[in-house]
């Protein structure tokens, strides 16, 4: 992705243009249905389940997800599927079967509003403010990433990419509100699938099919340092480390490339993080809330679960294909890397020769080299170069090749490197349109969730209550514009201070980690009090910040990556640290909420909590046949999901 820009032709631009015309057209076609604020924010609760279901999926499938999952596929192999088969699917089924009746049945217009109905204003304020800020930054980060990508790949101007992409999203959300976002998300869903599928197909064919990919990855696992996959030269894995989902995980953190243990995976990711995201994040839940009736609302996550289960084929497999290709002689493929420029290479070569003769301090020599070359190096490979006397005698050309080979992989470039490798004019336009579509679906999702939470949970609740419905509908449009402008601001912020951005994302990780405990207790235990929930939530958030401050993962220095207060525990990887943090925060929030609830008085009567808490809500009279009930469909999906896990055990 850092090489020369590729040129698009008339055909490619035509495909891109057609797509843009259609998404904007849908916005304009829906304009005449936008009469009340409920139409704009809730789609008037009139959309069938298959549409909300695909939108549910698409809103989450931003460009970063697409790029990031392929990156993880190369980095960690098939274990990345745990984000789907252990994480998302069970959580989506839980949402459909157990939680949706309360979200939809309570007539709450947003997730924070549910918290207000169930508890009180404190929980709502905490959740809505953090959510509003988070969505703005999330869309800013992905906007920045997209503009950078288009700039590197196509040579388009960064600022133009930023503004034009935002403007398109603004146009169709402004015209058609949530309906427009949901409808275009469905179109974008098909665009993403049909745009990337041929690339994956060609890649798999080129790599010689799945069996051949597996064989190659077995070789990669036994010598991971050859492809800069690990930074420790002596590190090796069993042959199935990249191609088995469970065996390496059960064997322990040192046996799988993720560096994660079984408990952190199942409890931390599978339970806490995934249920916390899929069951409480308004970005996705909003899609289900827009469904036309209770059945459609409950079916929304179930409809989404079917393609979600198969998505690893589209988003993770390309990463594994890329890794297999780079391990195949004669394919002339390498995982993308930053390129050391000619001018910098000269000084880098001079510097490394000096270090070999003089310095013994490896770490200092490495840091010096990275500064000279302007890229990060794989420590194991640079150490080998620094120790070898041959470095002094070999020709500059050969040394340049070896230095370039030691540059760390840019995993995020994997998916586009495959697009570039296989797509002729025509298909290229389609694949790039799919990339744009994935970005727009994510951004529109963020913007519609942001404008609803702002208007209903912050503006109407605290700033200007008791205004006319027209006023709120007007506010929704205004804040859509403001939300987009804030996202653009956040994108520029991200491009300038990427470290600050890491910290912001970290803080939101802290806020999200305990959230599911609050919802779980709130929905299924009528004794939970508002004070208990609020203190539990705030303590859970504080606990995750403290956990981060007191633990560190192997190979990191104290700072943004944690451990700046103490080093109470050293975890095997960043991911393990993240999963354990979530488990810890959840437990703190859960226990404190229970204890404080028992010590405080309930402020809401059983009557108040009807429709909000499981045990106090009268059972719905079931009218569907047994095979059409969400419970039955959920169980079938769960069995299929377990089968997938078994298949790639």
Partner 1 sequence: MGLDIRFPIGIMFTLIGLLLTVTGFVTGGDPAFYKISLGININLVWGIVLLLFGGLMWGFAILEKNKK
Q: Summarize as ranges the residues that interact with partner 1 (CB under 8 A).
A: 11, 14-15, 18-19, 22, 25-26, 29-30, 33, 43-44, 46-47, 51, 179, 183, 186-187, 190, 194, 198, 202, 205-206, 421-427, 430
DSSP string, 253-291: GGGSTT---HHIIIIIIIIIIHHHHHHH-HHHHHHHHTB
Least distance (Å) from partner 1 to the CB of residue 290?
Answer: 10
Least distance (Å) from partner 1 to the CB of residue 6?
Answer: 11
Between 130 and 180, CB nearer to partner 1:
180
Pairing of strands 569-571, 551-553: parallel
What are the φ/ψ torsions at residue 226 (nearest 5 degrees)?
-60, -35
Which residues partner with 407 through β-bridges?
377
62 contact partners, CB below 8 Å, separation of at least 6: 142, 438, 439, 441, 442, 443, 445
Between 24 and 88, CB nearer to partner 1:
24
Between 62 and 176, CB nearer to partner 1:
176
Least distance (Å) from partner 1 to the CB of residue 39?
Answer: 9
Between 50 and 632, CB nearer to partner 1:
50
Least distance (Å) from partner 1 to the CB of residue 649?
Answer: 32
- For residue 519, the tally of other CB atoms under 10 A from its CB is 22
Contact yes or no for 56/307 (Cβ under 8 A): no
465 contact partners, CB below 8 Å, separation of at least 6: none
- Cα–Cα–Cα angle for 268, 506, 457, rounded to 5 degrees: 95
What span, in angstroms and rounded, lies between the C-alpha atoms of 463 and 9? 51
Between 243 and 452, CB nearer to partner 1:
452
Between 58 and 577, CB nearer to partner 1:
58
Contact yes or no for 318/415 (Cβ under 8 A): yes
- For residue 237, the tally of other CB atoms under 10 A from its CB is 22
Between 52 and 378, CB nearer to partner 1:
52
Between 97 and 204, CB nearer to partner 1:
204
Least distance (Å) from partner 1 to the CB of residue 387?
Answer: 40
Least distance (Å) from partner 1 to the CB of residue 32?
Answer: 8
Q: Given 3-state DSSP classes, what are the helix, strand and coil percentages for the chain, each rounded to the nearest 5?
A: 75, 0, 20
CB-facing half-sphere around the CA of 164: CA atoms within 13 A:
12
Least distance (Å) from partner 1 to the CB of residue 186?
Answer: 5
Least distance (Å) from partner 1 to the CB of residue 42?
Answer: 12
Least distance (Å) from partner 1 to the CB of residue 198?
Answer: 5
What is the 8-class DSSP label of residue 497?
-
Between 428 and 543, CB nearer to partner 1:
428
Least distance (Å) from partner 1 to the CB of residue 277?
Answer: 26
What span, in angstroms and rounded, lies between the C-alpha atoms of 106 and 611? 6
Between 428 and 515, CB nearer to partner 1:
428
DSSP string, 325-383: HHTSTTS-----BPPPPHHHHHHHHHHHHHHHHS---HHHHHHHHHHHHTS-B-HHHHH
């Amino acid at each position: 992705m850092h090489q020369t820009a590729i040129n698009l032709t008339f055909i490619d631009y035509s495909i891109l243009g057609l797509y843009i015309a259609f998404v904007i057209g849908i916005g304009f076609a829906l304009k005449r249905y936008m009469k009340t604020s409920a139409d704009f924010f809730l789609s008037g609760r009139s959309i069938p389940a298959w549409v909300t279901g695909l939108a549910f999926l698409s809103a989450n499938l931003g460009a970063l997800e697409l790029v990031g999952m392929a990156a993880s596929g190369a980095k960690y192999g098939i274990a990345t599927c745990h984000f789907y088969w252990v994480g998302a699917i069970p959580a989506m089924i839980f949402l459909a079967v157990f939680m949706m009746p309360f979200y939809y049945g309570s007539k709450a217009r947003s997730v924070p509003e549910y918290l207000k109905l169930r508890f009180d204003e404190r929980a709502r304020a905490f959740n809505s403010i953090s959510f509003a800020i988070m969505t703005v930054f999330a869309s800013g980060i992905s906007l920045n990433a997209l503009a950078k990508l288009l700039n590197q790949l196509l040579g388009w101007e960064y600022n133009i990419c930023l503004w034009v992409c935002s403007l398109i999203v603004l146009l169709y959300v402004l015209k058609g509100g949530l309906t427009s976002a949901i409808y275009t998300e469905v179109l974008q869903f098909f665009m993403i699938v049909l745009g990337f599928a041929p690339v994956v197909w060609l890649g798999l064919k080129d790599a010689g099919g799945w069996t051949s990919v597996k064989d190659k990855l077995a070789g990669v696992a036994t010598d991971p340092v050859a492809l800069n996959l690990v930074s420790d030269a002596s590190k090796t894995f069993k042959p199935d480390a990249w191609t088995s989902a469970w065996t390496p995980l059960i064997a322990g953190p040192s046996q799988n490339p993720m560096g994660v243990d079984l408990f952190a995976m199942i409890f931390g990711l599978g339970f806490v993080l995934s249920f916390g995201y899929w069951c409480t994040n308004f970005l996705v839940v909003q899609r289900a809330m827009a469904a036309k009736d209770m059945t459609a609302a409950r079916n929304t996550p179930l409809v989404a679960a079917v393609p979600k289960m198969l998505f690893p084929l589209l988003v993770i497999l390309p990463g594994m294909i890329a890794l297999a290709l780079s391990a195949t002689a004669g394919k002339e493929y390498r995982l993308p890397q930053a390129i050391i420029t000619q001018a910098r290479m000269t000084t880098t070569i001079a510097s490394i020769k000096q270090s070999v003769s003089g310095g013994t301090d490896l770490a200092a020599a490495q840091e010096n080299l990275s500064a000279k070359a302007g890229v990060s190096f794989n420590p194991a490979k640079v150490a080998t170069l620094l120790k070898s006397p041959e470095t002094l005698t070999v020709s500059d050309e050969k040394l340049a090749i070896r230095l370039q080979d030691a540059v760390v992989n840019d995993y995020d470039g994997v998916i586009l490197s495959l697009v570039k490798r296989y797509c002729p004019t025509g298909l290229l336009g389609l694949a790039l349109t799919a990339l744009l579509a994935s970005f727009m679906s994510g951004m529109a999702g963020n913007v519609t969730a942001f404008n609803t939470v702002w208007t209903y949970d912050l503006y109407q609740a605290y700033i200007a209550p008791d205004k006319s419905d027209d006023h709120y509908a007007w506010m929704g449009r205004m804040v859509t514009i403001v939300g987009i402008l804030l996202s653009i601001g956040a994108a520029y912020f991200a491009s300038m201070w990427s470290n600050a951005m890491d910290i912001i994302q970290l803080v939101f990780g802290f806020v999200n980690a305990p959230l599911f405990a609050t919802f779980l207790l709130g929905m299924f235990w009528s004794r939970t009090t508002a004070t208990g929930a609020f203190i539990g939530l705030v303590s859970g958030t504080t606990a995750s910040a403290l956990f981060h401050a007191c633990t560190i993962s192997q190979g990191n220095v104290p700072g943004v990556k944690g451990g700046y207060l103490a080093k109470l525990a050293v975890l095997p990887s960043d991911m393990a640290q993240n999963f354990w943090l979530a488990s810890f925060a959840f437990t703190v929030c859960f226990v404190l909420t229970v204890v404080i609830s028992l010590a405080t008085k309930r402020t809401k009567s059983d009557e108040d909590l009807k429709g909000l808490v499981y045990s106090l809500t009268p059972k719905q009279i079931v009218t569907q046949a047994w095979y059409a009930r969400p419970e039955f469909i959920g169980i079938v999906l769960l069995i299929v999901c377990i089968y997938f896990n078994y298949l790639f055990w």
